[in-house]
Amino acid sequence: MLKISHLFIYHSSRRLSRVFSYLKNGFFVKMKKIVALSLVALSYLSPAVKAGGLVFVKPLPEITTLSGSYAELRPNHFHGGWDFRTGGQVDLPVYAVADGYIARVVITPSGYGKMVMINHPGGITTVYGHLNGFLGKLDSAVRREQYRQRRYDVTVEFRPSDFPVKHGQQFAISGNTGGSAGPHLHFEVRRTADGTMMNPVIYNKVFGIQDDKSPKIFGVKIYGVPGSGEVNGVSQMRYLCNIGRATLRNGSTVRAWGNVSFAVKASDYMSGTYFSYGVRKMRLYVDGRLVSQVTLQNFLFDEKKAVNSLVDYDQLMHTKEYYVKFSKDKGNPLHFYAPLVRNGVLTVNQNRLYPIVIEVEDDFGHKNRISFNIRGERGSLSSVPMGYTSMFRAGHANAISRKSFLLRLPKDALYTDVPIYFKDMKPAPTSNLYSDIYDFGAKNVPLHSPADVSVKILSDVLPHKNQYVLAKLNDKNQVCGTVNAEYVRGYMVGKAPALCRMAVYKDDKAPTIGAEHILKLRRFPVLKLKIRDNLSGIDTYNGYIDGKWVLFEYDPKTARISCDLRKAGLAEGRNHTLRVEVVDYCKNKGVLETKIFY
């Protein structure tokens, strides 16, 4: 049975407003609350559907459209579930979709923000992300752990007997925390045993998402395999499409010779919204034969970064466009491809037309396709440029070792073989760098696993060694970020997420702390401050009121930390001493001390 007190929180029901307009004084007024609660419970229970032995309901009072779809292509990851729109609102009730128990709560400043994982019978886990907060005893349990660890970001594990839930029971409120770009509820379905992320469309009889629109194809890329293929005399060509006419904008025939491969740019659309989404299936036909099918489904959390291998990563870096490749890189761990005839590569070795069809399909079976021809015409085959220092091989451990520099790649780091043009350059006298500059000549090469790196400090003069940083440099040798590294006996040792140009720099500037809302706290009792750092980034922050540690929540999107004074246990109607300390990754500390009245 639903917990009626939880359901009553959603007090803005249009159905209730119509009922209340007919209720008068006397007996009807006394019965108003009972009638209201009954109507809400019944209206919410009505769409329940049985699936896999469980009763499923919606996670929100009302679901209309999505702002994000399952396995959508995102920077460095696949989107793990569905994003249910909340009409720009926060603090809507969030319900358990089926019976089970709350197994884990994770709070991070970025990513999922405030997240709850519920385990259900049958080996299914549902995930609810970007929440604003939790209800009752669950909120108290999480808050106790935050105070015990003295930090905002925590992971709290629970036993099955701690917080059992029934389908339709509210346990949280929706929000906009973490890496969310706007208020919504992020919802996932996972296999409990291994964490496989599954498509929530399997429960759409409950959610009721409507779709009467077909996907659209916007572009096609054709590549000559290096050393053995060419397209119109060059290594690759990108063709835009005539939307609605199923043809290439520059004509229906492309000249090529040798081994060539393909990629497609497409988006899906749904009823009742102008949002665009990812497509589910992409198929490549040559001479009427299916040679490659890419189906985006059932992936592991640890495989999410392999989106950089699924797509043309160099194109993504240059134009922010996602072109999905029909050929699988040899270091790609995803199981999206079937069937793969010669890895989706076409060998053009005859002077004839090769009919090509690319088809895309969404979750609801709507399809779109584009047709064109490859004309076999012998040209001058492109070759791999020579002069590289070494070739890094996918599926193998790779390394560069010099007296003052070492880089090691684990065997699962690369998706494809990469030519390396390694250079060791002396910095300009005015650059304020503390090492040589190291460049790999390998731009826009994604890594699945980070590289181990060690850089010798040639001028080890800083008295505070933790102020050294391993900096990422742009083409003009300007600092544009940092690599996660620390000082070890005259070297900077760490993990590089990309084959970037790098050198040792310094960060001796403390983070800044600014007041956003510290006055009139009796009227609006949420203390708000802005915290920023210039380079290495914020590592820790701590807030104290009258010498006692208090919980501040951190939102990197707005560079804000906030403390709800109503939950801080302060005596009201008096002055208090506030102290906030913010430390960056180089141990530079910023401090703010002031008086507040609450």
What residue ranges do the domains of the chain occupy? Answer: 4-46, 54-207, 216-376, 390-506, 512-597
Report the pLDDT value the prediction gives residue 378, as an integer from 0 to 100.
85
Q: Do residues 121 and 54 touch, judged by C-beta distance below 8 A?
A: yes
Please list the residues that pair with 222 across neighbouring strands: 237, 262
Residue 9 has pLDDT above 60, yes or no: no
- pLDDT of 196 reads 96
Identify the residue with better confidence: 431 or 144: 144
User: Which range, of 135-139, 507-511, 566-570, averages the lowest pLDDT?
Assistant: 566-570
Query: For 569, phi and psi rounded to 5 degrees?
Result: 70, 35
Examine the pLDDT at 410 and tell me if it is beyond 50: yes
The pLDDT assigned to 382 comes to: 52
For a pLDDT cut of 70, what percent of the chain falls above it? 91
Write the class of the CATH domain 390-506: mainly beta
For residue 380, how many other CB atoms are within 10 A of its CB? 8
Mean pLDDT is highest, among 228-237, 305-314, 427-436, for 305-314
User: Does pLDDT of 139 surpass 80?
Assistant: yes
Total residues belonging to the chain:
598
CATH class of 512-597: mainly beta
**Is pTM, for the whole model, over 0.75?**
yes
Tell me the torsion sign for CA atoms 144, 150, 155, 157.
Answer: negative
Average pLDDT score over the chain: 89
Is the pLDDT at 466 greater than 80, yes or no? yes
For residue 25, pLDDT beyond 70: no
- The token duo for 244 is 């609605």
Q: What is the mean pLDDT of residues 414-423?
A: 93
Q: Is the pLDDT of residue 37 over 60?
A: no
Confidence of residue 114 (pLDDT cuts 50, 70, 90): very high
pLDDT tens-digit readout, 566-584: 999 898 999 999 999 999 9
Across-strand partners of 177?
none
Range 333-340 average pLDDT:
93
Based on DSSP, count helices (H) and strands (E) in the chain, helices before strands: 7, 47
The CA distances from residue 255 to 191, 234, 382, 403, in Å, are 47, 10, 14, 49
- The mean per-residue pLDDT over the stretch 555-574 comes to 93
Beta strands in 141-235 (DSSP E): 154-157, 164-165, 170-173, 184-191, 197-198, 216-231
In tens, the pLDDT along 217-269 reads 999 999 999 889 999 989 999 999 988 788 898 888 999 999 999 999 999 99
* 54-207 classified as CATH 2.70.70.10: yes
Name beta bridge partners: 405. 402, 455
Nearest Cα to 197, choosing from 103, 334, 298? Answer: 298
pLDDT of residue 244: 76
- Give φ, ψ of 515 to 5 degrees: -80, 130
pLDDT per residue as tens digits for the range 119-130: 999 999 999 999
Separation between Cα atoms, residue 502 and residue 436, nearest integer Å: 9
Please report the pLDDT score of residue 380 as a whole number. 64
Residue 526 contacts by C-beta under 8 Å, 6 or more apart in sequence?
517, 562, 563, 564, 565
Q: Greatest CA separation found in the chain?
A: 93
Nearest residue to 477 via CA among 535, 407, 426: 426
pLDDT band for position 22 (cuts 50, 70, 90) = very low
* CATH assignment of 216-376, among 3.40.50, 3.10.450, 2.70.50, 3.40.1110: 2.70.50
The radius of gyration of the chain's CA atoms, rounded to the nearest angstrom, is 28
CA 22 to chain centre: 48
